[in-house]
Amino acid sequence: MLTDPFRETYLSLLDEAKANGQFTLFDPNYRGNLWEDRLEEFIAQSRRGIHNADLVKVSEEELNIITGVTDRHASLDLLHGLGAKITLNL
């Protein structure tokens, strides 16, 4: 996730695409050195993106950070509960 104004533009376009029935994809693209002091912000922004995504691509690390759960199946269920239709966990 980028910093504003780019992040807000990206998330607004994602919201708009979803509202218009477009297929949407979200990849949080976590980089620890960029988010180390702002982990809660990363989680909140990722959850917003997941809410409007049909397909969510997450790494195991991103999955654990965003959900706070280490069990893979339980954390994927949480992503679906946030709105993801399809999850791709690499």
Give the DSSP H or E segment for 55.
strand 55-58
Report whether pLDDT(3) > 80. Answer: no
pLDDT, tens only, 41-73: 999 999 999 999 999 999 999 999 999 999 999
Reduce the DSSP state of residue 17 to 3 states and report it.
helix
Q: What is the mean pLDDT of the chain?
A: 92
State how far Cα 70 lies from the chain centre.
17
Structure tokens at 14: 């994602």
Q: What is the pLDDT averaged over residues 13-27?
A: 93
Taking residue 16's Cβ as centre, other Cβ atoms within 10 Å add up to 12
State how far Cα 71 lies from the chain centre.
18
Whether this prediction's pTM lies above 0.85 is answered by yes
